[in-house]
Structure 1
Amino acid sequence: MTDFRDVLAQQRFEQGFADATGRIRTVFADYAVQGGTRVILHVEADPALRGGGAAGSFMRSLAEHARAEGLKLAPRCSYAVVWLKRHPEYDDVVA
């Protein structure tokens, strides 16, 4: 796993994870800015990472980042909506 990052110029959160061959692949979330809220529009994992838990690990990093930065998350992507509902320990970052 590589460091979680906020690519401000692209309004995208990204994190790298190693696939089965050791190659680093990306999980990302596109977002829109509404003040201190990040509207999560789309979450996507590289196909080589699917089914391995990378997207869930990414969402945990995203929620931790939001908490540390004092941001709120407004999920619009179905994956982000479901993930946040399943993890009430992050209710404090949900807008």
Structure 2
Amino acid sequence: MSYDIKHQPNEQRFSTAVELELCLLDYTLSGNVMTITHTEVPPPVEGRGIASALVKAALDYAREQGWKVRPACSYADAWMRRHHDYENLRAS
């Protein structure tokens, strides 16, 4: 399933609404390193791949910008470990 994910650069956030529930990924940016700080999917819409879609959108955007990524959020870290084609984005 695909979700209408919006990037809100001023808020340093990627978000989507599913069944009126706000799902989000927050990040900070320092130089060319995006640190993913938080991913949140409310319980009523969990288990649908929404968090995965948010992380993928953030990582795809980071790749387009030439940024590295520091996954401080445990979900984003686990996601990157499972998707080896994104490991090259990991900040050292």
Task: Say whether the fold is shared (TM-score over 0.5).
Answer: yes
Report Cα offsets for 1:14-62 as digits up to 9, x if no partner: 2x153xxxx3533212222211111111111132221111111111111
Partner of 1:13: 14
| Aligned CA-pair RMSD | 1.7
Selected match of 2:52 from 48, 51, 56: 56
Counterpart Cα distance in 1 of 2:67 and 2:20: 28
How far the C-alpha of 1:3 sits from its partner, in A, is 3.5
Note the residue ranges of structure 2 that are not aligned, 5 or more in a row. Answer: none
Query: Is the alpha carbon distance of 1:42 and 1:3 closer, same or farther for their aligned partners in structure 2, counting shifts above 3 Å?
Result: closer
Selected match of 1:88 from 66, 75, 84: 84
Selected match of 1:76 from 72, 75, 83: 72
Query: TM-score w.r.t. structure 1 length?
Result: 0.79
Query: TM-score w.r.t. structure 2 length?
Result: 0.81
Counterpart Cα distance in 2 of 1:17 and 1:92: 30
Note the residue ranges of structure 1 that are not aligned, 5 or more in a row. Answer: none
Amino acid at match of 1:2: D
